[in-house]
Amino acid sequence: MSDGTHLTTWVTRETKERFAAVARHQELSDSALLKRLVELTLQTASAGEVVTLAAADRTPRGSRLSVRIRPDDVLLLRERAAARGMAAATYVSVLTRSHLRSLAPLPKAEWLTLEKIVTELSKLGRNINQIARVANRGKRVTASGSDHFRAMFTICEALRVNTKRLLQANAKSWQQGYED
């Protein structure tokens, strides 16, 4: 802590012992707990109560939060984050945001897959429209046109099934582990 300074106070021995017990319960040192309490107090104070020395033009990227996690949960966290192609901290952030705001987020890879599906469906839609225009003009749709139509229908059905599976897997993956 090159920029740090020291903050001290005097309390009764009983207060000190109780404080140390709370710190131990939270798996912190006395100093770490005191620092956390000071920071929490400053965060919850109104703007009029605290004079900030930070530059006015600096915009914070976001709040940071430290969380203690059991070793076996860290392994699960890393596995699930890796499966979604995310850093563990990003995964936790997305999970927290989705829980707090009741969102069902899609990771980038899954989003890109859905965009590809939409593109393919658009192409198929254009082909179907071309066949429909021919049929609406009273012209007979050739056998090759019928074959194309059947092939497009098969592709549409496969895209529908795969998209449904992707969405179900996404929803399940965000809820996995809650029943355990």
- The whole-model pTM stands at 0.38
pLDDT, tens digit only, all 180 positions of the chain: 457 787 888 889 998 899 889 888 888 888 888 888 887 777 776 554 544 444 444 556 677 788 888 988 999 999 888 877 778 888 888 888 888 887 767 777 777 888 888 888 888 888 778 877 877 888 776 767 677 777 877 888 888 888 888 777 777 766 655 444
Tell me if 148 sits within 8 A of 131, measured CB to CB.
yes
Residue 105 main-chain phi, psi, to 5 deg: -75, 150
DSSP letter string, 18-72: HHHHHHHHTT--HHHHHHHHHHHHHHHS-TTT----S-TT-------------HH
pLDDT number for residue 30:
87
